[in-house]
Every structure is written in C-alpha cells, then in structure tokens.
C-alpha cells in the first residue's frame, strides 16, 4: 500500500518506498519497551499512524520550506555517509559471518579479529560470483540478444540462478538462504480502537514527531540527489504529502514507518527505472503476487546474493567527487565543513 500511495503524489521517479535502515533503527528504539511481539506490532502500527499524521500536517501547513536550508554539500555529505553505512553492513553477511552482538565488519576486525575465523569460504565464493556476474553481464549485453536480455534483468536472473544452485548445494556448503517467507497479505484495521490506544498514541507522539522529521529529511535528501543527477526537479510539498499518505496507508496494515529507501533507490537507478510505475507500483504488485502465490519459491535464495545486490545499488549514492570538487575550491571552506559535518551524522547513528 505505501508504494502505491506514494506514487500518486511523489515527484521523484527513482524513489522506491519501503522500510529503511535509519528509520527502522529509530523506530526500534521507540518500540523497545513493549514486550511481546503482538503488543509491539500493534504499537508499531500506532506509531506509523502518528508519523503519517505529522508528515501530512507538515505538507498541509506548507512546512516544506525547511528543505531550503539543505545545501548541496549537506545533502551530499549525508547521503554519501549513509551509503557507506549501507555498503559496510552488507560485507559481514557476504563473508558468511554469523549474526552476533559484536557489530559490523569493521567492529569485528578492530575489536574481535578472532571472529574472522568464522568466515565461510563457500559464501565468499558465491558473493564474488554474484559481484562478477552483475559487473560483467551489463558490459556484455551488446554482444548478443540473449546477453542483452540477461543484462536488462540481471538482478532477477542472478536470483534465479543462485536459487537453483542453492537448492542443490546450500545445505552441503553451509550457505545461508532466505528460508520460510510468510504467505498471504495482511488484513487492514484501524490502529486506534480503545482508550488505551489513544493514551499510547499520546505517549509516543514526541518520538513519532522526531522520526517523521528524519523520515522526510533523509527521504528528500535521497530524492533530490537523484533528481539532480538525472536532471529533473522534485517538489518538496508533494514529497511531504506522498510520504504522509504512504505512512497513513501503511499503518492500516500494521507497517512500520516507511521512507524512500536509499539502497532501493540506488538499485532502481542502476536498473534503468525512470517512472513511478516501475519504482513503486509494479514493485508493490510483484511483492503482493509473490507473497500470495510464490512465497515458497524464495526459500532457497541465498542471503549473500541479496547483500551483493544491495551493496552495488548503494554505490550509486556516493558523491566523493563532490567533496573533491569542494576541496579544489579554496574559497569554499564553509561548504567543505558542511559536507564533513553531515558526513559524520549517519556515522554517529
């Protein structure tokens, strides 16, 4: 539901709406106090509803002027740092390292180097094969129509080939796969049903306001970055309304707060998506069909292959050349500091 609602009002053709790492982290902090899964799920729906209301009201009262204070160096630094965090988070599962509380790959290498002994070579080999396939097939698609077909749908063909391989060899080599995916679509319901729900909403409102602001600013930063790169304009007030309605609709189905996903937007850009139809509508349709009819076929998709796709998609978000350009201009020390400050913000998260 959120992708379809966003596509009605959104103005960034590369924006793919869904959950994001930063917003998921902030939401998790807000919902950590709620014990069992059922309570946390219901509280999450109320929280998403509040986020949607706040963002929608920001659009109604035309508070989009706040983005005028986001300079190009600020946007570039924030997005580049976010992209680095996304890419770094993919390295650990690409090496086959088990989930642990020791942190990401850099934390392990610095503080727990012995954990690197758990690297699984078959997983590393599959990750390297996936990287090679995605990098090479795009360059070879001009040689033959079959290669062109593979190149145009390189991510889908990679998932299919790797799943076929994993069906036979994943268990033998210890390659982690997606596993069971719940089938069917969630039912809709209004989150605020009782007086206790209203009291809970009042309690969560300050946190929801903070998440709403971060949702819009981080989403608009990514949207504006790709809009400038592709040569078109995004309208801030439309983005506010689109994100607000997307979260309002998602709350009815128990969704967590949604934003414009930076890594998914990078994947959309790298695959040549140039419309809301491809970035959101068809994505929602395909996801719904898969959950309804084909969820069992996702069981053997290797997790490391998904990490490779995300990593390559996120690399399109980096703008190191912008910092190099700023460094070359000796009269722009303030802009350089702005870039570095915004670069450090996601790192501290």
The pTM for the full model equals 0.63
16/279 Cα distance (integer angstroms): 5
The residue extents of the domains of the chain are: 2-348
DSSP string, 174-199: T--B------S-PPP--S--SHHHHH
224, two tokens:
């504006």
Q: Which pLDDT does position 54 carry in this prediction?
A: 92
* Largest CA-CA distance found in the chain, in angstroms, rounded: 66
Quote the pLDDT of residue 157. 86
CB-based contacts of 207: which residues, under 8 Å, 6+ apart?
30, 47
pLDDT of residue 100: 57
Q: What does each C-alpha distance from 349 to 77, 266, 315 come to in angstroms? A: 14, 21, 20
pLDDT at residue 37, rounded to an integer: 73
pLDDT at 56: 92
Q: How many CB atoms lie within 10 A of CB 252?
A: 18
Q: What is the pLDDT of residue 143?
A: 76
Q: In tens digits, what is the pLDDT along the chain, a chain of 349 residues?
A: 788 888 888 888 878 788 776 677 678 777 877 767 778 888 889 999 999 999 999 888 887 776 666 566 666 676 677 777 777 778 888 888 776 555 555 565 565 566 677 788 889 999 999 999 888 887 787 777 777 778 777 888 888 889 899 888 888 888 888 887 777 777 788 888 889 889 989 988 988 888 888 788 778 877 887 787 778 888 888 888 989 999 999 898 888 888 887 667 777 777 677 777 767 777 778 778 877 777 777 888 888 898 888 888 777 667 666 566 556 655 455 555 554 555 555 555 4
Q: Which stretch of DSSP H or E encloses residue 259?
A: strand 259-260
Distance CA 80, CA 346 (A): 9
Q: Are 40 and 235 in contact (CB under 8 A)?
A: no
| DSSP3 helix / strand / coil % (the chain, rounded to 5) | 75, 0, 25
DSSP state of 66: G
Question: What would the two tokens of residue 197 be?
Answer: 């729900």
- What pLDDT was estimated at residue 138? 75
Which residues contact residue 221 at a Cβ distance below 8 angstroms, ignoring those fewer than 6 apart? 70, 75, 78, 79
Number of H helices, E strands in the chain: 16, 2
Q: What's the token pair of residue 130?
A: 């996936």
| Two tokens, residue 26 | 């902030």
d(CA 304, CA 262): 19
Residue 17: count of CB within 10 angstroms of its CB = 30
């Amino acid at each position: 539901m959120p992708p379809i609602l966003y596509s009605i009002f959104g103005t960034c053709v590369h924006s793919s709406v869904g959950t994001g790492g930063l917003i998921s982290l902030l939401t998790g902090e807000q919902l950590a106090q709620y014990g069992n899964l059922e309570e946390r799920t219901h509280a999450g729906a109320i929280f998403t509803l509040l986020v949607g209301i706040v963002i929608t009201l920001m659009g109604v009262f035309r508070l989009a002027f706040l983005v005028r204070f986001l300079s190009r160096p600020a946007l570039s630094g924030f997005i580049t740092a976010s992209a680095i965090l996304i890419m770094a988070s993919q390295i650990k599962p690409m090496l086959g390292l088990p989930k642990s509380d020791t942190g990401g790959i850099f934390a392990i290498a610095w503080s727990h180097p012995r954990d690197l002994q758990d690297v699984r070579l078959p997983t590393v080999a599959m990750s390297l094969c996936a990287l090679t396939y995605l990098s090479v097939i795009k360059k070879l698609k001009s040689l033959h129509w079959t290669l062109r077909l593979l190149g145009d749908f390189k991510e889908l063909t990679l998932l299919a080939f790797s799943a076929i391989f994993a069906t036979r060899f994943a268990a033998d080599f210890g390659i982690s796969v997606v596993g069971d995916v719940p089938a069917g679509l969630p039912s809709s319901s209004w989150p605020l049903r009782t007086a206790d729900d209203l009291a809970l909403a009042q309690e969560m409102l300050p946190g929801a306001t903070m998440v709403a602001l971060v949702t819009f600013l981080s989403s608009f930063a990514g949207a504006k970055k790709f809009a400038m790169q592709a040569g078109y304009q995004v309208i801030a007030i439309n983005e506010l309304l689109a994100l607000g309605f997307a979260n309002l609709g998602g709350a009815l189905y128990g969704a967590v707060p949604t934003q414009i996903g930076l890594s998914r937007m990078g994947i959309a850009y790298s695959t040549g998506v140039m419309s809301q139809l491809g970035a959101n509508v068809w994505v929602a349709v395909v996801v719904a069909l898969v959950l309804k009819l084909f969820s069992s076929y996702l069981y053997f998709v290797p997790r490391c292959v998904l990490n490779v796709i995300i990593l390559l998609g996120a690399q399109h978000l980096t703008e190191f050349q912008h910092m190099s350009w700023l460094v070359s201009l000796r009269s722009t020390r303030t802009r350089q500091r702005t870039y570095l400050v915004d670069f450090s913000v996601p790192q501290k998260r």
